[in-house]
C-alpha cells in the first residue's frame, strides 16, 4: 500500500460545478497537508496548506483534513475552465529540526468543461 492514495481521474465536470478532490493516507505521522496545482508541463504550485485537522478556506477553495479517518479533501466552488489541471495532495511529517520532504499523491487530472 502506498503511503498516499489519490484517484488519478480524469474527473470531468461542467463549468460552475462544485469539485471534490480527495486523498487517503496511511502514515499517522503526517501533520502537514498541502494541495498543489500543476498545469501541463509546469511545476507544481502551492494552493492550500493546512496543519493538523480542520478546515481552511481561501476564495473558491476549501481544504479539509480529517486525521481520524486519514482523509483530506479539496473543494473548488464555482469551477472555471482555468481550474483544469492536475491536483496533487502532499503531506509532511513533524520533525524535530530541519525540513522534511513531501510525500505526494499521484495527482487527479481535473477537466472543467465550458
Residues that bind another protein (CB under 8 A): 32, 34, 36, 41-46, 49, 51, 88, 92, 98-107
State in angstroms the smallest separation of the CB of 43 from another protein: 4
Q: How far is the CB of 14 from another protein (least distance, A)?
A: 27
Beta bridge partners of 10: none
Toward another protein, which CB reaches closer, 37 or 76? Answer: 37
C-alpha–C-alpha distance, residues 17 and 68, integer Å: 28
Other C-beta atoms closer than 10 Å to the C-beta of 69 total 10
Q: Which triple of cell numbers denotes residue 76?
A: 473548488
Cell 489541471 locates to: 85
Q: What minimum distance in Å lies between the beta carbon of 6 and another protein?
A: 8
Nearer to another protein by C-beta: 29 or 46? 46
For 40, the grid coordinates are: 501541463
Amino acid at each position: 500500500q502506498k503511503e498516499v492514495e489519490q484517484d488519478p481521474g480524469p474527473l470531468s465536470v461542467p463549468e460552475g460545478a462544485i469539485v471534490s478532490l480527495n486523498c487517503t493516507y496511511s502514515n499517522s505521522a503526517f501533520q502537514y497537508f498541502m494541495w498543489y496545482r500543476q498545469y501541463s508541463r509546469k511545476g507544481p504550485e502551492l494552493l492550500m496548506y493546512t496543519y493538523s485537522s480542520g478546515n481552511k478556506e481561501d476564495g473558491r477553495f476549501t481544504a479539509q483534513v480529517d486525521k481520524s479517518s486519514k482523509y483530506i479533501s479539496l473543494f473548488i466552488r464555482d469551477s472555471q475552465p482555468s481550474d483544469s489541471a492536475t491536483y496533487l495532495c502532499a503531506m509532511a511529517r513533524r520533525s524535530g529540526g530541519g525540513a522534511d520532504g513531501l510525500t505526494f499523491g499521484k495527482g487527479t487530472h481535473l477537466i472543467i468543461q465550458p
